[in-house]
Structure 1
């Protein structure tokens, strides 16, 4: 009898457990991370990255357009409907915008560079697909065979007889194009200019892609070199005259610009939206096939949740794939009514790195805050670099710390390193910011294969794709359905972040004072952070709208931040006075 009771108990427990495992979870703010970590696999992101990275992508060329239609196919499979045939009940729509290109598009086909008299090519396209500078024309079928002239000092280029010869220089080809090709009549250019962060002595075969102006009259060409090829050519030139045979095949032809946009329509506030932007052009895997792939899996997974009635966004979620900065800029500017309701913009750029291979770390590039003026302590610019900004250029908003908080949480869950950098620009977050729309960039740096032909699929991590996708969607879903409760949570996070920042800045200021820096400067820094966070607290009102009680909550937070700032300034004043007395 006891055995029968035990057996029945085991069966019931097993049945209940299986039912729970198979139970479809409705998404809400308390389980976004749990559900998305389970269901965002990274498979589609990786497969899409693998497809896109096969092509050297320029707007309008074969690889770019195939990528657009690949995205469209996947969107349709997941339930998105073409906008021009959609009905009022279709909440998942997409469109492909087509515009004629003012200039022809370009694609590389093949190339080889040989030192005359040697069998092994100096460079060949099959292993160095970045060797042909963008906008280069084809050579005659037999190639161009002529002497190469090494120009060590490019300032002396105008004094040299280079007509009909190949100019070899260690600089960007665009920098010497006019002097060497247009005015000097050179047959072509062969250049080297890999920056130090690419570790060229280690990555000897890497070539960072280069470009020259498109000149339909001269039909010029240029070759970019790897460190290995550059050193070999220089060694040959030390022994005497060197003749090169350069054979290039490219396609240059009229085309159209494609941009693909998918919308997940909000149920309650459809005009308000969050936009993810991922650019297709550029030849690499991490830059930026990964952004394309992550955005696509985010879009299709969101569609799945909506079809299964597990998630319903109050605001609209938009995904944009196109030409970096240009497509996003157009999206922001072409429809002023739409633009005023874009609440947040996020750029997905270089978001899938295997950092054990590429180096660097995942970064959130913050909206302009005082760290872009006074960069100290843990704040560091990347090797990509950033200019010192002005107080008038600051963009106080809760988006910075909200996203940092979400990504740090996923970092803890997945044992994943997440960091930040001060604003630098150069990607799809810039058009949003110029239009006063809160926006950040998700990316990786330093990357020792950045913009090189070694940025291939083997440098991509499916785990990273998943981590970025999970956290991006968690953040998006939270903002799309944000309400007063969300706003209060964000406000508390701002208080925490402000107090932590002021404490750190106090420490940095104390060290600066000890080194002899002025108290006036330190007070300016503390005051700038105080002002930034006080204004940041105020931006949370855009979630709650006209709430008198919430405005009181904001004022309480601002008073707390103000009091901490005054305390820090007072402490710094004491330190400075003691230092003066000691001296």
Structure 2
């Protein structure tokens, strides 16, 4: 009876799939916009953000198994149980951690003689510096020593006392505790972009070194707590009672990977990476949630016969940079066929609350060398790059165009920033794999305990997930026709860029910069775009089918660059 029922179920599924109409590239936008609701992305974000997540701890692992549960609901098969015919598979990779994991439990700081806590974990869950040990149940009571000049810390007697300084706890922990005998440290150093005088209760999460000998602790402070403690110290001696409860234990590292197998070139793939660790909602429960809804909706389209990917689409959730780096490095055969990598990090912001703008952080292009005009680094910051660090590729402008189109459709602001690094796009780029970052900045709640679900917008989750899928389906099913269309887009983008650099070059010369430098900048952009045009060969098995179109585009670009240089010389 079971076999018979299974047979008819399979026949029905195959018949439905074969009768269903596969989506054309031109139909991706309308269909995905209709189907991607943001519901699962928001539900996932709400679940994950409840936990203070460090690789190997309770919240991290619960997030992994939440993802696994929903992948199975969507039709993914655990890899070890899959057959060769299974298109949707997932696996959970397990590795022993080299050092213990950590999680916060509770904390409270009281000023002796006051009834109101200076800080308490229930409202400031970032107050305990990562890798702090627990105090005795009754807490630690000690005098506070304020170190205004950090150069004087080493020569100050802090034994048995609590050191308070305006810096990071990790910076003074060794000198204060390991060398000086302090019982713990209290620190404050929220950067200006967090608007600490406005967001007075925010605490950015901090860490200290794992100290199995002293087993001490660090407390990070909000602006309000810092000001209150300084006010008390101005009146005389201050004694604090500090209660800290944490867990430090051996664990394992989990990474979860979902694959949608390509039907023609399964070894070639696009990989979306989103990290689970970090304690916030936007950073990075939103990336986890968007990726999960993307993976689930893709499964639905495949089951309905609307999508038959030529190449493999993969989703990776794990420890930021570490898991992605391992994915790129551990299997050299797999790595050489990763054609594109995209990092989903801080992708659900309610920008009216956070102040951030959705950004595409570009692969290294000349704007990371000469940052001018509309190109601007974020407050997160970026270092000036060199010519040999450039990564010319069509991916930048291809994605910018897809997101600008969604921005126009949804009345949504989309911007870009020059390469800065710091997230899961970095390991891809180090492996010479084209990669960009989707994120938001500035965010006045970045890395703080006020980065909660109320700062997340389901509309933003939908816009990012929708557009990322539109781009992904286009890439994994790309062919000669796709490449030719992208060459047109790149040629247009290159022309606009050279015209902008002409404008910026004239302004720069008015300020005293040399003509030779402006010519260098234009030629550098021209060369970058020539390589970007030629990079479209990775969409076809025989690059000769694109040579005529590429040559024509390069010739046009060369002429445009020459025109710009002539105009500069006039």
Give the TM bin, normalised by the shorter chain: over 0.9
Following superposition, which runs of at least 4 residues in structure 1 exceed 6 angstroms of deviation?
none
Give the distance between the partners of 1:140 and 1:152, measured in 2 at CA. 29
In the alignment, which residue of structure 2 is the partner of 1:294?
290
Give the distance between the partners of 1:315 and 1:184, measured in 2 at CA. 59
Match of 1:317 among 304, 310, 313: 313
Give the distance between the partners of 1:75 and 1:89, measured in 2 at CA. 18
In the alignment, which residue of structure 1 is the partner of 2:396?
400
Q: How many residue pairs align between the two structures? A: 552
Give the distance between the partners of 2:236 and 2:20, measured in 1 at CA. 74
In the alignment, which residue of structure 2 is the partner of 1:16?
none
**How far off its partner does 1:235 sit?**
0.4
CA deviations 1:487-515 (Å, max 9, x no partner) are 00000000000000000010000101111
**How far off its partner does 1:544 sit?**
2.0
Which segments of 5 or more consecutive residues in structure 1 lack a partner in the other structure? Answer: 1-22, 575-583
Give the distance between the partners of 2:548 and 2:430, measured in 1 at CA. 31
In the alignment, which residue of structure 1 is the partner of 2:544?
548
In the alignment, which residue of structure 1 is the partner of 2:12?
none
Give the distance between the partners of 2:213 and 2:24, measured in 1 at CA. 60
Q: Does 1:537 align with 2:537?
A: no
Give the distance between the partners of 2:542 and 2:467, measured in 1 at CA. 30
RMSD: 0.8
Q: In the alignment, is the contact (CA less than 8 A) between 2:60 and 2:276 conserved in 1?
A: yes
Q: In the alignment, is the contact (CA less than 8 A) between 1:192 and 1:225 conserved in 2?
A: yes
Q: In the alignment, is the contact (CA less than 8 A) between 1:207 and 1:226 conserved in 2?
A: yes
**How far off its partner does 1:360 sit?**
1.7
Give the distance between the partners of 1:54 and 1:25, measured in 2 at CA. 41
Partner SS state of residue 185, structure 1:
coil
Give the distance between the partners of 1:521 and 1:177, measured in 2 at CA. 47
In the alignment, which residue of structure 2 is the partner of 1:81?
77
Q: Does 1:234 align with 2:225?
A: no
Give the distance between the partners of 2:167 and 2:558, measured in 1 at CA. 51
Within-5 A mapping of 1:147-296: 147-296=143-292
Within-5 A mapping of 1:404-419: 404-419=400-415
Q: Does 1:461 align with 2:457?
A: yes
Query: 1:25 and 1:224, CA in 2 relative to 1: closer, same or farther beyond 3 A?
Result: farther
Match of 1:116 among 104, 112, 116: 112
Give the distance between the partners of 1:411 and 1:242, measured in 2 at CA. 54
Q: In the alignment, is the contact (CA less than 8 A) between 1:25 and 1:35 conserved in 2?
A: no
Give the distance between the partners of 1:239 and 1:273, measured in 2 at CA. 64
Query: 1:25 and 1:190, CA in 2 relative to 1: closer, same or farther beyond 3 A?
Result: farther
Match of 2:426 among 430, 442, 455: 430
Give the distance between the partners of 2:272 and 2:122, measured in 1 at CA. 34
For the pair shown, which has the larger CA radius of gyration, 1 or 2? 1
In the alignment, which residue of structure 1 is the partner of 2:7?
none
Within-5 A mapping of 1:27-42: 27-42=23-38
In the alignment, which residue of structure 2 is the partner of 1:562?
558
Q: In the alignment, is the contact (CA less than 8 A) between 2:109 and 2:118 conserved in 1?
A: yes
Q: Normalising to structure 1: TM-score of the pair?
A: 0.94
**How far off its partner does 1:25 sit?**
5.9
Within-5 A mapping of 1:310-459: 310-459=306-455
Give the distance between the partners of 1:549 and 1:61, measured in 2 at CA. 52
Q: Normalising to structure 2: TM-score of the pair?
A: 0.96
Q: In the alignment, is the contact (CA less than 8 A) between 2:45 and 2:289 conserved in 1?
A: yes
**How far off its partner does 1:547 sit?**
3.7
State which drifts further: 66-75 or 545-554: 545-554
Q: In the alignment, is the contact (CA less than 8 A) between 2:480 and 2:545 conserved in 1?
A: no
Partner SS state of residue 102, structure 1:
coil
Partner SS state of residue 127, structure 1:
coil
Partner SS state of residue 158, structure 1:
coil
Partner SS state of residue 26, structure 2:
coil
In the alignment, which residue of structure 1 is the partner of 2:43?
47
Give the distance between the partners of 2:362 and 2:256, measured in 1 at CA. 26
In the alignment, which residue of structure 1 is the partner of 2:10?
none
In the alignment, which residue of structure 2 is the partner of 1:8?
none
Give the distance between the partners of 2:250 and 2:23, measured in 1 at CA. 47
Q: In the alignment, is the contact (CA less than 8 A) between 1:131 and 1:223 conserved in 2?
A: yes
Give the distance between the partners of 2:224 and 2:245, measured in 1 at CA. 23
